[in-house]
Amino acid sequence: MRVIEKGIMTLSLLLILSALLLILLFLDDGILKTHRSIIALRKNYLEHSLVLQNASQQNILHLCNTLSLDNNQKTHKIILENTLKNDRTNDNISTAIWCDRHFLFKELPKKSTYQKEFKNYIDSEQLQIFKEKLVIPKNNLPKSKTATLYWFPKDHSQWEINNDLYGVVIAEDDLLISGKGKIRGTVITGGNLTLIEGVTVAYKKSVINSVVKEYSQWQLSSKSWYDFNDEL
């Protein structure tokens, strides 16, 4: 009788162990299938993302430069989408870059002259970006209503005008303006400003706004590239 009972217990244990083993096998198979599915999704995503990145990297340096300067934005996000659908999720692969706007001016001038205030209004760290546009003006320029930036480095401290001009005059050091005419905009110097009789400066907001916008530039932010599907 005891032998029969032991046999039944042994058989029961074997059945239980067999059932547990089958459950584990089913679970392992499910885990493996899930893992394979994740790997497949990731592969599919990477393939589509690579298509987007290869196409975008060719133009990425120019994307920020195409943004408009006719606004007061300082940062801007450009969203790029791959037109190829993800076969498994039917979603587009989206990628974005951030652009930063660099300004020559630290703040907007609000009066006609700023003597010895170059450092307060001009961002010297940005001069390198705009160096190709900073041209020393000639004497006795023709009359012009175009908003212009007139740039005077430290080794140029004198300027003669004989017409009315519209723009922003910037001098790193002293500046003496002689001749006859009115400058509509503002004058900013790092040193002394001397206006010889016959030369006047009148504050003009629209001219200043135009020059400030012109001397700003969009550039790609450092490490700005990222995609929205990193969770895969």
Residues 115-141 have pLDDT tens digits of 999 999 999 999 999 999 999 999 999
* pLDDT tens digit sequence for 146-204: 999 999 999 999 999 999 999 999 999 999 999 999 999 999 999 999 999 999 999 99
Q: Integer distance in angstroms from the first to the last C-alpha of the chain?
A: 61
Same domain, 89 and 178: no
Alpha carbons 176 and 160: distance in angstroms, whole number: 8
Please report whether residue 24 resides in a domain.
yes
Tell me which of 199 and 48 has the higher pLDDT.
Answer: 199
Same structural domain for residues 186 and 118? yes
**Higher pLDDT residue, 60 or 216?**
216
Domain span holding position 85: 2-103+219-227
Give yes or no: residues 91 and 142 share one domain.
no
Is 64 part of any domain?
yes
Residues 57 and 6 in one domain: yes
Regarding whether 33 and 117 lie in a shared domain, the answer is no
211 and 223 in a common domain: no
State the total domains in the chain.
2
Residues 117 and 202 in one domain: yes
DSSP of 158-191, one letter per residue? EEEE-S-EEEEEEESS-EEEEESEEEEEEEEESS
Looking at the fold, whether 119 and 138 belong to one and the same domain comes out as yes
Q: How far is CA 219 from CA 109, 162, 186, in A?
A: 24, 38, 27
Instruction: Return the structure tokens found at 19.
Output: 């059932």
| Predicted pLDDT of residue 100 | 87
pTM: 0.67
Pair 118, 67 in one domain: no
